Chains A and B, each alone.
Chain A
Amino acid sequence: MNQPRKILIAGIGSAHGDDQAGWLVAEHLAARIRDCGDIKIRKAMIPLDLLDWLDGVDILHVCDACEMTPCPEKLHRFTWVAAQWMKSDQCREADIHVRLRSPGSGGSHDFGLIEVLRLAAETRQLPQQVIIWAVEGLDFNPEGTISSFARIAAGQAADAIFNDLRIHDA
């Protein structure tokens, strides 16, 4: 019998406007998924937090806000396959990469999400499956409220992750 796979859902965010989207996704899912040993839902303040939570994780879903892109879709899904980011919508990976809110300039305060995942890969901590959900935001003002635009996109992300989990479960 197959061992149940351990899943971590991490919402990265801050209290600044639409950057709350990652946290909101985590809150939506926490309300819908009963706490169980195989699925953990956590809210991160910086991408580097993820490295503390990866022990034994098979599937990682990361939700983070990103800046507006020229694409029609406002929710973007990427998967890490054989050390490559695979896109699943019309938006170019590079476009999302530069627009993620934590792009990472190398300082310890701002290790970006991509850098953290690459570090996890180099240290053999990266789960077998990694899915990034990038939620587009409009306004990232300090201490600002989340826009209805990002709130809706965060809800869509939560629905999409929930569906993914059901597929895994099946």
Chain B
Amino acid sequence: MTETRTIRVEALTRVEGEGGLHVRLNGTVVEDVQLSIYEPPRFFEGFLRGRPLEEVPDITARICGICPVAYQMSAVHALEQALGVVISPEIRRLRRLLYCGEWIESHGLHMHLLQAPDFFNAASGIELAARFPNEVTRGLKLKKQGNELLEVLGGRAIHPINVAVGGFYRAPKKDELRKLIPGFEWGLQAAIDATRWVAGFDFPDFERPYEMISVSHPDEYPMNEGRVVSTSGLSIDVSEYETAFAEHHVAHSTALHSLRTTGQTSYHVGPLARVNLNREKLCDTARRVADEVGFKSPCFNPFQAIIARGLEVIHAFDEALSILREYQPFSPSRIAWKHRSGEGCAATEAPRGLIYHRYQVDEAGKVVLAKIVPPTSQNQRQIELDLIDWLPRIMGTDDQKTADECERLIRSYDPCISCSTHFLKLTVDRVTASVGGTR
């Protein structure tokens, strides 16, 4: 008799948001894996309709407390395209500085408190801190540097309030930014040390045939603009995004699944994709550290995304320092513009991966349509397929251990269920003809 069993993870831990995982096994064959995002939909796209476009950056920031900048920036870029607004180079540099702050705080948190515990069988960042107090303290201080930058430039660390269509409500004073320099000089070296530390972890031998997608820019590491490219040769303008990618409803998740329109295939977004597709655009220091720790490109091992995050933190500190040192106050901090009807789209890079926004606005400045595709929606199907490959390698009779290993893989993506709606519980079905087991 073939034994079928179901493993359930009722709530994934150390991921942003709430969701579950349901695995159905038939003997040793994985019959089904469902990443169940059961949080109610948040309807941001719906309630943006009819709102003044000036409110969009502040409303979209509320989608996520960890990566609000990416939502704000994607929104303002798309709206500026719709309005025909061209920002100044000074505003553009400050926006990249804001991105640096977000990447530093988000990656710093994930590397040290969320993913690193998995490599030491620690149940939490607190348990890891008891064993590696210096490393965890360093990680927390790295995160602090990012938060301080967001406070100065964004008005506050969480849900910044200084971002406007056309620029910033207020440009920082020179002294305000210069005060950050010593902390960022420390941060650059600390990021190098942190990356060396995580690169020494014991990684599972697990590679997947991903199509990796990211923004790519000819002159800089991708944050706020560029073409959408892939490891399979895709290279399109952002305006073509919706011809190459489409979202689909699945019954088991309140978050949409985004797939390639050609072949309905999954794809992978995030720091691993960015580094694989843009390694030569990393700063010299990050590239040198990548070489030193033996980080190969392309890398298709999802667990090694933690190294890619480290390299991006190095890059973010390096680029931020350059901007901080050269900063001169400028005016206007916000380019003037007038309401007009139009449509615009933008793709930027949130810490967790590519994010796409499209808006239509009317002549009165009201939002007519809003479309937002967060990174986790794009990675969801890929995570399920990874688990189908991963489960036979780690599956044992102990469902709890199996569940823990599944969570470990999922966490390597740093999924933000709050963004895609929310996240995670695991269930594993192990059922004989007469026995149904559910934890």
Chain A residues at the B interface, C-beta cutoff of 8 Å: 45-46, 49, 51-52, 105-109, 111, 115, 118-119, 122-125
Within 8 A of A (CB), among B47-101: 65-66
Which of A51, A109, A123, A125 is within 8 Å of B66, CB to CB? A109
Bound-complex Cα distance A51 to B148 (A):
12
Does B129 sit at the interface, judged by CB under 8 A? yes
CB pair A108 B137 closer than 8 Å:
no
Which of B109, B129, B130, B133 is within 8 Å of A108, CB to CB? B109
Residues of chain A with a CB closer than 8 A to B133's CB: 122-124
Does B211 sit at the interface, judged by CB under 8 A? no
Does B11 sit at the interface, judged by CB under 8 A? yes
Does B320 sit at the interface, judged by CB under 8 A? no
**Given A49-B157, A124-B137, A107 contacting B16 (CB threshold 8 A):** yes
Q: State the Cβ distance, A117 to closest chain B Cβ, in Å.
A: 10
**Given A52-B147, A123-B129, A108 contacting B110 (CB threshold 8 A):** yes
Q: State the Cβ distance, A34 to closest chain B Cβ, in Å.
A: 23
Number of inter-chain CB pairs below 8 Å: 68
Does B376 sit at the interface, judged by CB under 8 A? no
Task: List 27 A-B pairs, Cβ < 8 Å.
Answer: A45-B157, A49-B147, A49-B158, A51-B140, A51-B144, A105-B13, A106-B13, A106-B124, A107-B13, A107-B14, A107-B16, A107-B17, A107-B18, A109-B16, A109-B17, A118-B126, A119-B113, A119-B125, A119-B129, A119-B136, A119-B140, A122-B126, A122-B136, A123-B137, A124-B133, A125-B137, A125-B140
CB pair B126 A115 closer than 8 Å:
yes
CB pair A105 B11 closer than 8 Å:
yes
Does B212 sit at the interface, judged by CB under 8 A? no
Give 6 closest A-B pairs by Cβ, nearest first: A106-B13, A122-B129, A123-B137, A52-B144, A45-B158, A109-B16
CB pair A46 B129 closer than 8 Å:
no
What does the 1/0 interface line of B99-120 toward A look like (CB < 8 Å)? 0000000000110011000000
Q: State the Cβ distance, B234 to closest chain A Cβ, in Å.
A: 31
Q: State the Cβ distance, A166 to closest chain B Cβ, in Å.
A: 31
**B-side interface residues, number (CB < 8 Å):** 32
Does B15 sit at the interface, judged by CB under 8 A? yes
Residue of A nearest to B110 (CB): A108
Residues of chain B with a CB closer than 8 A to A122's CB: 126, 129-130, 133, 136
Bound-complex Cα distance A169 to B423 (A):
47
Within 8 A of A (CB), among B399-416: none
Residues of chain A with a CB closer than 8 A to B421's CB: none
Residue of B nearest to A125 (CB): B137
Does B418 sit at the interface, judged by CB under 8 A? yes
Residues of chain B with a CB closer than 8 A to A52's CB: 143-144, 147-148, 157
Residue of A nearest to B424 (CB): A107
**Given A45-B158, A52-B148, A109-B17, A123 contacting B65 (CB threshold 8 A):** no
Residues of chain A with a CB closer than 8 A to B157's CB: 45, 49, 52
Residues of chain B with a CB closer than 8 A to A45's CB: 65, 156-159
Which of A108, A118, A124 is within 8 Å of B14, CB to CB? A108
Residue of A nearest to B151 (CB): A52
Bound-complex Cα distance A118 to B129 (A):
10
Bound-complex Cα distance A107 to B423 (A):
10
Bound-complex Cα distance A45 to B339 (A):
34
Q: State the Cβ distance, A104 to closest chain B Cβ, in Å.
A: 10
Q: State the Cβ distance, A53 to closest chain B Cβ, in Å.
A: 9
Bound-complex Cα distance A106 to B117 (A):
12
CB pair B144 A106 closer than 8 Å:
no
Residues of chain B with a CB closer than 8 A to A125's CB: 137, 140
CB pair A108 B126 closer than 8 Å:
no
Which of B126, B147, B423 is within 8 Å of A119, CB to CB? B126
Q: State the Cβ distance, A130 to closest chain B Cβ, in Å.
A: 16
Residue of B nearest to A116 (CB): B126
The residue in A51, A118, A119 that gathers the most chain B C-beta atoms within 10 A of its C-beta is: A119
Residues of chain B with a CB closer than 8 A to A49's CB: 147, 157-158
Bound-complex Cα distance A118 to B109 (A):
16
Residue of A nearest to B65 (CB): A109
Within 8 A of A (CB), among B168-182: none
Residues of chain B with a CB closer than 8 A to A119's CB: 113, 125-126, 129, 136, 140
Residues of chain A with a CB closer than 8 A to B147's CB: 49, 52
Within 8 A of A (CB), among B119-142: 124-126, 129-130, 133, 136-137, 140
Residues of chain B with a CB closer than 8 A to A51's CB: 140, 143-144
Residue of B nearest to A106 (CB): B13
Residues of chain A with a CB closer than 8 A to B148's CB: 52
Q: State the Cβ distance, A123 to closest chain B Cβ, in Å.
A: 4
Bound-complex Cα distance A119 to B159 (A):
24
